[in-house]
Amino acid sequence: MTIAISFDGNQLETERPIGIDVATRDFIRGHFRFGHQEKFYCVCPNIDAFELYKKYAQDEGIERERCLSINQNDPEGLEKAQCLLRYDPGIVRNAWARRHHGQRLYSLCGVAHSIASAEVMEVVGSYLSSPLQSWDALICPSKAIRSAIQSIITAWEGNFKERFGHEFNCPLELPIIPLGVDTARLKNTASPYNRTQQRNLLGIPDDEIILLYVGRLNYIAKANPLPLLIAAEEAAKNSANPLHIVFNGYFNDPVNENAFNQAISNFCQNVNVTFVKHGDPKFPNGVWAAGDIFCSLSDNIQESFGLTPIEAMASGLPTIVSDWDGYRDTVRNGIDGITIPTYMPSAGTGREIAYRYFSGQYTYGDYLGATSQSISVDIPSLVTAISLLSKDSEKRRTMGNAGKRRASEYFDWSHIIAAYEELWNELTVRRKHANEEMPLLKGDNFHPSRQDPFIIFREFPTKTIFINGRVSLLTENWQETLKRISLKMSLILPNNLMELEKIPALIAQIEAQPDSTLEQIASALEENNQARFVMTIGWLLKLGIFQYHAPEGDP
């Protein structure tokens, strides 16, 4: 099974990484390591992107020569690849482009990460009216993300039924495949030696229990730290060991940094707090080894899956996470860690939020903030969880080991890539046998809004050039003809016309058979591309080389 990966070539921001960018690059590296294909195809916007793709291949032991770049407008190349993978939901435009060439040529596969933005919701909303097929798929990293995607599609199905009186269904597959991690890289990060080294650098004694958070420090777009600060302070009052929160990440802006510091100064009298900036050269592999308990209490609709809990599990840390979205699919409550209940207002409560975001009164950040401020993590349960794990080293060890096994057995890239390949094989089989939606009939336009311009604007001209019309020569002076053809303004996009070397033969044929129709001229020249032939006639009319004579009966 082969695929082509749509690769933008954007360099990963090392100082301020975004989860989706990390997941994309890790997927590509995982595919090189575990993918079962001789050639690795990609669709890149430029040569720099292709060079970066080959570098990733080389880093994973794949010869650069095994990497091949396919032009996004090359249907034969994409057919050879069998499936085009985009690491985002934006497969609608690709579906329309494929329809122009043949909808059974290859499959399309997208991946849904964060789906709360207006742009992504608009894309998903357009699935129903696009020519997606049952051999296409949008991979969802969690059950909650699939539910959100289905909610948007179902709403549009209802809208279409109400408006047109018929049932409409989206044939797109929505399989659940989680994100992956490189467990081999992480399995030795939490060694006793690394723990001692990192704690010495942090200046934190071994008897202090570190509650470790890893990720962006953004209370609007990631996770509000207030529940953790309040619960840790409460648990610290009855803890035999001091509690210490370590935030390993980065602030998007001073607003977030000031907000964190304000909350810490107000609530943390018995708990110490340390910030470790992401990318700190003293901690090239992060501070996983220093931690005792991983805590991530996401309360945000921007979250889709969450890589850091899996990374924590792969590092052997027990986890305390919010029972939220993809976290719920990752951490098994009471086995790998403890999940904390979350609460959200009932359906119908946020219609005004949705409208304000739609109408431009809210930015994306406002939309996230307006929802997350009414989403809560159960603080009493969190206090209990922190208290339980902070005092029981054996339970921490047991949960950490269970999480490590789970990460290795379920979330390592070797398993994730295998799941992807199984899906791609299923799509290939389906593409050969399943019914085709919106088949393109001969003469149809591949896209309703991207019709043949000579159809859309057919009422503009006085006359239409028909294949049963005739033309005559306005000039027999070859020098004059060549002069007109060679002008810069004469030839704009020659790929829409006959080859220039065929023009003398065309002119000679018309000169020899002035009474022949254009159809007869094309036949005599063995010009099988009628559209290109007629456009060439129009071009030579424009240059004043031909005169058009409409067929009888043409008004």
Over residues 497-509, the pLDDT tens digits come to 999 999 999 999 9
pLDDT value of residue 19: 66
Question: Is the pLDDT assigned to residue 277 strictly greater than 90?
Answer: yes
**Does an H or E element contain 423, and which?**
helix 413-433
Radius of gyration of the CA atoms of the chain, in A: 31
- CA 282, distance to chain mean position in Å, is 33
Average pLDDT rounded to a whole number, residues 398-412: 97
Cα four-point dihedral sign 511, 516, 519, 523: negative
% helix, strand, coil for the chain, step of 5: 45, 15, 40
Task: Enter the tokens of residue 214.
Answer: 């890893």
Regarding whether 196 and 164 lie in a shared domain, the answer is no
Any domain includes 71 = yes
Please give the DSSP secondary-structure letter assigned to residue 6: E
Range of the domain at 524: 453-549
Regarding whether 172 and 196 lie in a shared domain, the answer is no
Average pLDDT rounded to a whole number, residues 511-524: 92
Question: In this structure, are strands 271-277 and 243-251 parallel, antiparallel, or unpaired?
Answer: parallel
Question: Is the pLDDT assigned to residue 14 strictly greater than 70?
Answer: no
- The CATH number assigned to the domain holding 285 equals 3.40.50.2000
Confidence class for position 475, pLDDT limits 50, 70, 90: confident
Question: Is the pLDDT assigned to residue 18 strictly greater than 80?
Answer: no
Strand, coil or helix: what is 333?
strand
Average pLDDT rounded to a whole number, residues 17-44: 88
Regarding whether 232 and 132 lie in a shared domain, the answer is no
Q: What is the 3-state secondary structure (H, E, C) of 139-199?
A: EECCHHHHHHHHHHHHHHHHHHHHHHCCCCCCCCECCECCCCECHHHHCCCCCHHHHHHHH
Average pLDDT rounded to a whole number, residues 521-542: 95
pLDDT value of residue 466: 95
Regarding whether 233 and 97 lie in a shared domain, the answer is no
pLDDT value of residue 241: 96
Question: Is the pLDDT assigned to residue 20 strictly greater than 80?
Answer: no
Please give the DSSP secondary-structure letter assigned to residue 290: G
pLDDT value of residue 442: 81
pLDDT value of residue 17: 64
pLDDT value of residue 13: 60
Confidence class for position 547, pLDDT limits 50, 70, 90: very high
Strand, coil or helix: what is 539?
helix
CA dist., res. 148 & res. 325, Å (int): 10
Name residue 263's amino acid: A
Any domain includes 530 = yes
Average pLDDT rounded to a whole number, residues 25-53: 94
Regarding whether 248 and 349 lie in a shared domain, the answer is yes
Regarding whether 335 and 267 lie in a shared domain, the answer is yes
Largest CA distance in the chain: 105
Question: Is the pLDDT assigned to residue 554 strictly greater than 80?
Answer: no
CA dist., res. 227 & res. 406, Å (int): 27
pLDDT value of residue 240: 92
The answer to whether the CB of 178 falls within 8 A of the CB of 305 is yes
pLDDT single digits (tens) 240-274? 999 999 999 999 899 999 999 999 999 999 999 99
pLDDT single digits (tens) 285-332? 899 999 999 999 999 999 888 899 999 999 999 999 999 999 999 999
Average pLDDT rounded to a whole number, residues 53-66: 95
| Tally of domains within the chain | 3
Question: Is the pLDDT assigned to residue 15 strictly greater than 70?
Answer: no
Any domain includes 80 = yes
pLDDT value of residue 312: 97
Any domain includes 448 = no
Question: Is the pLDDT assigned to residue 177 strictly greater than 70?
Answer: yes
Angle of CA points 460, 510, 497, to nearest 5°: 50
Task: Enter the tokens of residue 174.
Answer: 């929505």
Question: Is the pLDDT assigned to residue 9 strictly greater than 90?
Answer: no
Nearest to 382 by CA among 133, 145, 211: 211
The answer to whether the CB of 56 falls within 8 A of the CB of 29 is yes
The answer to whether the CB of 206 falls within 8 A of the CB of 199 is yes
CA dist., res. 523 & res. 507, Å (int): 14
Is pTM beyond 0.85 here? yes
506, with CB counted inside 10 A (0-12, 13-18, 19+), is buried
pLDDT value of residue 478: 86
pLDDT value of residue 12: 63
Any domain includes 443 = no
Name residue 284's amino acid: P
- Residue count of the chain: 555
Regarding whether 325 and 248 lie in a shared domain, the answer is yes
CA dist., res. 538 & res. 555, Å (int): 19
Regarding whether 240 and 331 lie in a shared domain, the answer is yes
CA dist., res. 47 & res. 45, Å (int): 7
pLDDT single digits (tens) 134-150? 999 999 999 999 999 99
pLDDT value of residue 16: 65
Question: Is the pLDDT assigned to residue 426 strictly greater than 90?
Answer: yes
Regarding whether 358 and 282 lie in a shared domain, the answer is yes
CA dist., res. 289 & res. 187, Å (int): 10
- CB atoms near residue 116 (< 10 Å): 18
- CB atoms near residue 200 (< 10 Å): 12
Nearest to 307 by CA among 177, 178, 176: 178
% of the chain at pLDDT higher than 90: 86
**Does an H or E element contain 40, and which?**
strand 40-43
In the predicted model, what is the mean pLDDT of the chain? 94
Question: Is the pLDDT assigned to residue 380 strictly greater than 90?
Answer: yes
Regarding whether 506 and 367 lie in a shared domain, the answer is no
Question: Is the pLDDT assigned to residue 112 strictly greater than 70?
Answer: yes
pLDDT value of residue 305: 81
The answer to whether the CB of 228 falls within 8 A of the CB of 382 is yes
Regarding whether 170 and 237 lie in a shared domain, the answer is no
Question: Is the pLDDT assigned to residue 21 strictly greater than 80?
Answer: no
Regarding whether 458 and 402 lie in a shared domain, the answer is no
pLDDT value of residue 441: 84
Any domain includes 441 = no
Task: Give the helix ranges, DSSP H, for 35-141.
Answer: 47-59, 75-81, 92-101, 118-125
pLDDT value of residue 279: 87
Average pLDDT rounded to a whole number, residues 175-202: 92
Q: Which residues of 325-342 are buried (b: 16+ CB within 10 A; e: fewer)?
A: bbbbbbbbeeebbbbbeb
Cα four-point dihedral sign 442, 443, 445, 446: positive
